[in-house]
Amino acid sequence: MKNYHYIFTGTGLAALMTVYKMVQSGNFKDKTILLIDEDSKKSNDRTWCYWEQSKGKWDKIISMKWNRALYANEAFSRSLDLQPYQYKMIKGLDFYNKIFKRISKETNITFLNQNVIGYSESADGVVVQTTGGDFSCDKLLNSIYDPSKILAQKKYPLLQQHFIGWFIQSEQLVFNPNQLTFMDFSVAQKGNTRFMYILPTSNTQALIEYTLFSKDLLAEAEYEDEIKTYIANLGIKDYTIIEKEQGSIPMTSYPFWKNNTQHIINIGSAGGWTKASTGFTFKNSDKKSDALVGFLNSGTDFRKFHKTNKFWFYDLLLLDILDQKNEKGSLIFSSLFKKGNPAVIFKFLDEQTSFLEDIRVILKCPTLLFLKALVKRVF
């Protein structure tokens, strides 16, 4: 049985970011690394978006960026000036190609296109079972999400950000490529938090996603029927579907770090790296992978890799509300964006605000809802 210093089970965003930064650091050339995934990462299976100020480390592979965003519900719409932020989009395949092009040059890194069956830990390390055989390692970095432990408890609610998106080519000039639609809550809520999300890349092309923050997924036809209706309401009569994407991202403040052991760390969705209140993943994974690579340079016990901050608790309160009153999502987000400073809101969602700025943002939300959630959570 071949032994490696590090094994990554699953090669999603978090795993690929982490191994890429391990290579960039130059500190792991003498360490053997095995990546295992049943998906070869050769298709454009998803789109990631994030916001940041000025230039960033991933700018060479962004496919589009915007300085303005539209927020809307059934009663109002507002065009948001995002400066000093820019909203950026990266296609999954461009990200995969960049990472694999770089790590393929490293003789100490191996990619195995196999399915992971399970793993077990001993005092000396971990053994990983795959459809291609067993492998041992000193440290396991797992990004295969298993919801069983979350579903087995009731202290921390679990919602899903679930969606289906169509990238379409329209015969009509209907899109504004200078402005994305961040959230459009004008669609029927049907007792949930439901909105449309539009990423226009030209006057005639855009990714249109029907998105929900709720507990239960829908039948595929329901997402697609809503997209068809929305497209028709935009005045689009003739269009072609170029690509489709769909996904379901866990939204929870469950303390994933408590499942880490001396030799095993859970990363990505499996480790709670998704921003719990919004489902955004890219920026959080970027920050977490930086911290993890730094930890790998000095730490040996993965139980010590964790820091809880105030934003974890803010997210928990929002999820407590949406868990019990899922239809309140439009009210909460609309209260934020109707008159709030967009730059401060995005800074808050990026977990960069001071406590005073936190208060200014939170006070724009429905106060009674959050006070009740706070009292219930504390007592």
**CATH topology match: 3-43+93-149+253-304 vs 158-251:** no
Cβ distance 177 to 203 under 8 Å?
Answer: yes
pLDDT of residue 110: 97
CA distances from 123 to 35, 141, 254, 301, 328 (A): 22, 17, 27, 12, 48
pLDDT of residue 378: 86
DSSP per-residue letters across 68-80: EEEEE-SS-EEEE
Instruction: Name the class of domain 158-251.
Output: alpha beta
| Beta-strand relationship, 47-53 and 85-91 | antiparallel
pLDDT of residue 140: 97
What are phi and psi for residue 110, nearest 5 degrees?
-125, 140
DSSP per-residue letters across 156-174: S-EEEEEEEEEEEEESS--
- Render pLDDT for 6-26 as a digit per residue (tens, 0 to 9): 999 999 999 999 999 999 999
pLDDT of residue 282: 96
Cα 251 from Cα 254, distance rounded (Å): 9
Domains in the chain: boundaries: 3-43+93-149+253-304, 158-251, 310-378
What dotted CATH number matches 3-43+93-149+253-304?
3.50.50.60
Neighbours of 298 (CB within 10 A): 6
- Render pLDDT for 21-52 as a digit per residue (tens, 0 to 9): 999 999 999 999 999 999 999 999 899 999 99
Where the chain has pLDDT below 70, the residues are: none
